[in-house]
Amino acid sequence: MSKIISITAIASVSPLGATSQTIWENYCNEKHCFTTHFLDHKETAVAKLDSVSEEVVSALQHSDIKYKSLDKSVLYAMAASRTAIQNAGWTSKDVFGINIGSSRGATDLFEKHHQDYLVNGKAQTLASPTTTLGNISSWVAHDLQSSGPEISHSITCSTALHAVLNGVAWLRAGMADKFLVGGSEAPLTDFTIAQMRALKIYSNSTEEWPNRAFDLDKKQNTMILGEGAGVCCLEVGVNENALAYIEGVGYATELLEHNISISAEAVCFQKSMKMALQNTDIAAVDVIVMHAPGTIKGDLTEYRAIEKIFGESLPLLTTNKWKIGHTFGASGILSMELAILMMQHNRFIGVPFAKAQTQTKPIKKVLINAVGFGGNAVSILLSL
């Protein structure tokens, strides 16, 4: 990279908690975060925010009358962003850009407004402005009193890592010195669950770990949805407060074989990983945090792509979706959070039902993958 990019803070609200300490403690146990709720006409396993995160979000929503009409996806992003800039030491006097995306956006609120329209034949005044995708970053900017550029986007499940790419691009181009980037998702709605069931990828498992992410021998799809938001603060140069550095970025798309699939050997991932690793000895990569959503094809094709790039010298491999489910557009940044925590604590967090992997050296370089419908892959290489 032409310029070193420091990550000076990362924060989230998720089923794992709202503080770094709680999140790490939850990663260190082998319990998943799934609970059962009545969605799409039946009892359904999902990963909801933990109680502390819910309290943080509720307090935020009631702190300003304007916030009462906002969707959860917006509120989650606002809550995580407040913590991140506080931890980074940024204030309203700092000029920083904001790029926080979402795969689905204001899903819950949109469904409620549409249902209200079907019943009453009339749309409510705030139906449009509170359900546009762009209102995530704009409301975060309002809450933080930011004066920099505001960007929102949806690139399905790789949305958050695309936000990281975009922030890096702005910083490297000299168009900004600081950028707040990430993703937010609140997809635990009847219609969203129904859509995943229609694709035949939602878990029906009653096993101890119902999401079998990174189980390459599974015979059924086991994806489960989770909710949450994560953001990180990026700054140009070597910062003494840096949690980690972005050493490489990669991205790729590939021709569609199907509306939701990627190729058998995930060519998009091969390209994105090669790009992220172009200035790095692959033997130096200690861990890969895989996208691995818990589907048969999704997990296996990514693994094959990793084998193509790393051959017999595979790093330690893991994913967090067995624990918190798939958070769509927020998933990549939550994977980055896991990567940073593993480097900070020098401890590998594996998948409990996967083949045992032994950590033999310090964790100093971690590669994170994410991909969305249509083969929009992103790989980010972090280092201490």
Decide if pLDDT at 252 tops 80.
Answer: yes
- Residue 375 is predicted with a pLDDT of 78
**Residue 327 CB burial class (10 angstroms; 0-12, 13-18, ≥19):** buried
**Can you tell me the distance from the alpha carbon of 81 to that of 182, in angstroms, rounded to the nearest whole number?**
9
- What percentage of the chain carries pLDDT values higher than 90? 91
Which pLDDT band, with edges at 50, 70 and 90, does 257 fall under? low
Decide if pLDDT at 200 tops 80.
Answer: yes
Residue 248 dihedral angles phi and psi, to the nearest 5°? -160, 150
Decide if pLDDT at 339 tops 70.
Answer: yes
Q: CB–CB of 370/377 below 8 Å?
A: yes
Q: Whole-model pTM? A: 0.96
- What percentage of the chain carries pLDDT values higher than 70? 97
First-last CA distance in the chain: 15
Decide if pLDDT at 256 tops 70.
Answer: no
Longest Cα separation, the chain = 64
CATH of residue 72: 3.40.47.10
Mean pLDDT of the chain, nearest integer: 95
What value does the mean pLDDT take over residues 241-258? 88
Pick from 103, 224, 237, 232: nearest CA to 172: 237
Give the other-Cβ count within 10 Å of 369's Cβ.
Answer: 28
**pLDDT tens digits, residue range 8-21?**
999 999 999 999 99
- Which one has a higher pLDDT value, 189 or 279? 189
Residue 100 dihedral angles phi and psi, to the nearest 5°? -125, 120
**pLDDT tens digits, residue range 144-177?**
999 999 999 999 999 999 999 999 999 999 999 9
Decide if pLDDT at 112 tops 70.
Answer: yes
In the three-class reduction of DSSP (H, G, I as helix; E, B as strand; rest coil), residue 155 is classed as strand
Which pLDDT band, with edges at 50, 70 and 90, does 260 fall under? low
**Can you tell me the distance from the alpha carbon of 221 to that of 211, in angstroms, rounded to the nearest whole number?**
8
Which pLDDT band, with edges at 50, 70 and 90, does 1 fall under? very low
Decide if pLDDT at 373 tops 90.
Answer: no
The token duo for 213 is 């992410």
> Domain tally for the chain?
1
The token duo for 109 is 């609120």
Decide if pLDDT at 28 tops 80.
Answer: yes
Instruction: Look up residue 350 and give its amino acid.
Output: G
Decide if pLDDT at 122 tops 50.
Answer: yes
**Can you tell me the distance from the alpha carbon of 271 to that of 265, in angstroms, rounded to the nearest whole number?**
11
Q: CB–CB of 249/15 below 8 Å?
A: no
Residue in the structure block whose two tokens are 């296996």: 300
Residues of the domain holding 113? 5-383
**Can you tell me the distance from the alpha carbon of 310 to that of 318, in angstroms, rounded to the nearest whole number?**
15
Which pLDDT band, with edges at 50, 70 and 90, does 265 fall under? confident
Q: CB–CB of 204/123 below 8 Å?
A: no
| 62-78 residues labelled b (16+ CB within 10 A) or e (exposed) | eeeeebeebbbbbbbbb
Least confident window among 66-70, 126-130, 230-234, 260-264: 260-264
CA angle 341, 25, 320 (to 5 degrees): 60
**pLDDT tens digits, residue range 284-306?**
999 999 999 999 999 999 999 99
Which pLDDT band, with edges at 50, 70 and 90, does 134 fall under? confident
Give the other-Cβ count within 10 Å of 1's Cβ.
Answer: 14
**pLDDT tens digits, residue range 32-90?**
999 999 999 999 999 999 999 999 999 999 999 999 999 999 999 999 999 999 999 99
Which pLDDT band, with edges at 50, 70 and 90, does 266 fall under? confident
